[in-house]
Amino acid sequence: MSAVNRAARLLGVSEPYDYCAAADAYMRTFYRPASGLFADTADSAHTAIGSNAFALLLDLPLPDGNGAILELIRQKRLNASNLFVSPLILFGLFRAGQTDLLYDLLCDRNYWLRMLAEGATTTFEAFGKDRKWNTSLCHTMFALPVAFLCGWSPDDYLGACPASES
């Protein structure tokens, strides 16, 4: 929404999205105050890392900050992640200023370093050849850590943090 609104401004047309209204609706629907985490569905209490990575990336204004989400990431790490959720986690950590945890995940021997240990010359679709029965051994999405290691900011690609659109 933020990127589309930014494009609309550049084109001189009306912004199609109300970020604040969408963020409020998202919070009302998925946020579980008792745990400080986001549920997977509107009527579920289950809180997976993907649901919370998305919320962290959006920089939603949580009553107690991002502490519960960050603790969930510290506990689960990328073990319950995949090539679609991992970028959300990495971008979210970067935006939240959690670069120590971000680099800890990038340097964990169970993830990208495991690919190297298995002889990778490209990035795999999963964190190891045996993690998925049909793992592609040439998948560009998991090349993302190179950007962080080179000092690239996700905001160069994603634009300003959506929370700044108030």
Evaluate if residue 56 carries a pLDDT over 80: yes
Arithmetic mean of pLDDT, 10-27: 90
Higher model confidence: residue 34 or residue 138?
A: 34
Is residue 162 within 8 Å of 58, Cβ to Cβ? yes
Domain locations in the chain as residue ranges: 2-165
The string of DSSP codes covering 9-73 is: HHHTS-----HHHHHHHHHHHHEETTTTEE-SSTT-----HHHHHHHHHHT---TTTTHHHHHHH
Please write the tens of the pLDDT for every residue from 84-126.
Answer: 889 889 989 988 899 999 999 999 999 889 999 999 998 888 8
Structure confidence at residue 163 (pLDDT): 47
Q: What is the mean pLDDT of the chain?
A: 86
Arithmetic mean of pLDDT, 44-66: 89
